[in-house]
């Protein structure tokens, strides 16, 4: 696990540096492609630690929330410069909203079939909805980029911002995920671990997915009645245990957390649309227009309090450190490992300017770095944008 602090740095990458970052990246990605194939590029982009090391290698700040936006922009230009048949669609803000249209253009460039194009569009929408609706950790998406090959392999990197803490969180996805709705991430990068996060992607919550889908097939009038009933019971508190039939069990913190849900702000029109569509799976439910965090949270509340389904209220992030902390928490800084990593990155940059053989060695060293430090890790990031990407 790795701990890296990324405060916001104002300004933008100067053109002279961006050009060199693209040139260096195109060489690095070309070598990875020649040595291991296009899929390996996607796999590495789906690895949060490799992504961060790559950003440092090509000359970007190690402590900036702009790492995500800059690296994905550099990769977009680099794959074109290197003539790699990898589609790159999406970006920050409005570019994220244009992901389907950009993907259409990229499909024509690399020769992606119409069936795979439609599949990737749905995957893009579901992935964005999962990190907005199923993982309700307080971060609003404002950046979303999809990478794909001609045969349909894909990786997604997206980022959200918490307006209250002004911290960012980056989510990594790979097509190797067995499910898009059950523990699907290849990695999550952030710092702050939030209390009582609704995590419907947890395997613990997955048993409630069937109930959520069944509820979405119920008349909205019934859902509204159940939700208001639960909301009033929680608000009164004193009547909660008797209403739940749990006289000997006081309300849990997760139940009290749901006071934040205002039934009047639920998108009932979206739930009416779901009732008409009759979704069969969580994926189909997420794809329904208008289904957002409030609707999913309402269904989760009803499934919990009315039907007794167990939900996960823990943040999927866990504190982690690459080298330890300066105060000895959770353990003293490993100076030898830290110096070794610094040396690896310094030599990698120097060797990148040498010949092909040296470049291959550089990539292998970078790969070795990933092997030394594994796991989901947390990057502190302060973001300056408040726009949200919810397709």
Distance CA 173, CA 157 (A): 6
For residues 117 and 112, give the distance between their C-alpha atoms in angstroms, rounded to a whole number: 6
- Per-residue pLDDT tens digits of the chain, which is 391 residues long: 333 444 444 557 788 889 999 999 999 999 999 999 999 999 999 998 899 889 888 876 555 567 888 999 999 999 999 999 999 999 999 999 999 999 999 999 999 999 999 999 999 999 999 999 999 988 999 999 999 999 999 999 999 988 887 788 899 999 999 999 999 999 988 877 777 789 999 999 999 999 999 999 999 999 998 888 777 766 665 444 444 443 344 445 444 445 456 777 889 999 999 999 999 999 999 999 999 999 999 999 888 878 888 899 888 886 555 566 666 654 577 787 778 777 777 777 677 656 556 656 666 666 665 554 444 444 444 444 444 555 5
Which pTM value belongs to this model?
Answer: 0.79
Distance of alpha carbon 221 from the chain centroid: 34
- The pair of structure tokens assigned to 139 is 């971060």
Unique residue bearing structure tokens 């439609």: 118
* Distance in angstroms between the alpha carbons of the first and the last residue of the chain: 32
Q: Token pair of 343, please? A: 């040396």
Q: Beta strands of the chain (E only): which ranges?
A: 3-6, 86-92, 135-136, 140-149, 154-162, 167-174, 185-189, 198-199, 378-381
């Amino acid at each position: 696990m790795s701990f890296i602090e990324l405060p916001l740095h104002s300004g933008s990458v100067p053109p002279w540096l961006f050009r060199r970052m693209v040139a260096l990246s195109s060489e690095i990605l070309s070598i990875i492609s020649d040595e291991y194939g296009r899929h390996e590029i996607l796999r590495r982009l789906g690895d949060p630690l490799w992504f961060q090391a790559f950003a440092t290698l090509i000359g970007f700040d190690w402590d900036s929330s702009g790492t995500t936006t800059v690296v994905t922009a550099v990769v977009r230009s680099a794959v074109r410069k290197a003539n790699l048949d990898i589609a790159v669609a999406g970006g920050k803000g409005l570019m994220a909203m244009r992901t389907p249209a950009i993907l259409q253009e990229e499909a024509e460039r690399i020769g992606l079939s119409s069936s795979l194009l439609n599949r990737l569009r749905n995957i893009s929408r579901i992935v964005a909805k999962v990190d907005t609706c199923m993982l309700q950790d307080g971060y609003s998406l404002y950046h979303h980029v999809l990478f794909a090959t001609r045969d349909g392999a894909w990786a997604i990197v997206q980022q959200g911002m918490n307006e209250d803490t002004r911290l960012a969180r980056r989510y990594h996805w790979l097509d190797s995920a067995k499910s898009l709705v059950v523990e699907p991430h290849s990695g999550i990068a952030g710092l702050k671990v939030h209390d009582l996060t609704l995590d419907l992607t947890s395997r613990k919550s997955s048993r409630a997915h069937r109930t959520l889908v069944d509820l979405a097939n119920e008349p909205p009038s019934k859902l509204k009645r159940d939700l208001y009933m639960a909301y009033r019971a929680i608000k009164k508190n004193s009547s909660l245990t008797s209403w739940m039939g749990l006289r000997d069990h006081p309300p849990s913190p997760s139940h009290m957390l749901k006071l934040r849900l205002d039934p009047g702000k639920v998108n009932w029109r979206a739930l009416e649309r779901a009732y008409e569509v009759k979704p069969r799976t969580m994926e189909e439910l997420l794809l329904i227009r208008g289904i957002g965090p409030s609707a999913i949270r309402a269904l989760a509340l009803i499934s919990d309090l009315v039907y007794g389904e167990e939900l996960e209220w823990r943040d999927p992030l866990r504190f982690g450190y690459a080298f330890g902390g300066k105060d000895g928490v959770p353990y003293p800084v490993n100076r030898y490992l830290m110096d070794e990593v610094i040396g690896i990155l310094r030599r990698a940059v120097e060797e990148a300017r040498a010949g092909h053989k040296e470049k291959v060695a550089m990539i292998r060293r970078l790969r070795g770095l990933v092997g030394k430090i594994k796991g989901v890790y947390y990057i502190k990031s302060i973001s300056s944008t408040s726009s949200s990407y919810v397709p």
